[in-house]
Amino acid sequence: MVGVVFHFYRLLDELNVLENIVLPAMVSRSVVGWLLTRRAATKRATELLEQLGLKERVRHKPYQLSGGERQRVAIGRALMNRPRLLLADEPTGNLDSVTGNGILKVFEDLNRAGQTIVMVTHDERIADRAQRVIVLEDGRIRA
């Protein structure tokens, strides 16, 4: 399974923070399967909210959150189903440097805990923090 963190969050404004994070668990199961696992999924989402520093924002809608909070919700949603691989497309691209550093800290903590992360960035300072960097230039991988 793969989790994806999009550059522009892609949160659903109609749903609150908890519902946005739980969403992958809802759509990856049948209706009956969801009803049987709803309690466990809510528990997992609550744990992610705490890990991401968002437990006080659980009932807020995305438009009530800062950019960094929205990105952390997007990270939580991507991690909901415990993916083996997390893909992140410019996860700090539209954030200020302080908020962006906070997001990178979350990724570093996740990676230390065993999460595999593939991140796309144009920012060399961010790439310098990675364990491994692959450069793509003119459509080709450069060694």
Domains of the chain, first to last: 2-142 (3.40.50.300)
pTM above 0.85, yes or no: yes
C-alpha span between 96 and 84 (Å, rounded): 29
Query: Which of these ranges, 9-13, 46-50, 66-70, 93-97, has the smallest mean pLDDT?
Result: 93-97
Is it the case that residue 49 has pLDDT exceeding 80?
Answer: yes
Where do runs of H (alpha helix) occur along 1-143?
Answer: 17-27, 31-51, 67-79, 97-112, 124-127
Is there a contact between 49 and 55 (Cβ–Cβ < 8 Å)?
yes
Q: What is the DSSP letter of 123?
A: -
User: What is the mean predicted confidence (pLDDT) over 43-56?
Assistant: 94
Query: 55 pairs with which residues across the strands?
Result: none
Query: Each residue of 4-35: pLDDT tens digit?
Result: 999 889 999 999 999 999 999 888 776 666 76
Q: What is residue 52's three-state secondary structure?
A: coil
pLDDT in the model for residue 31: 66
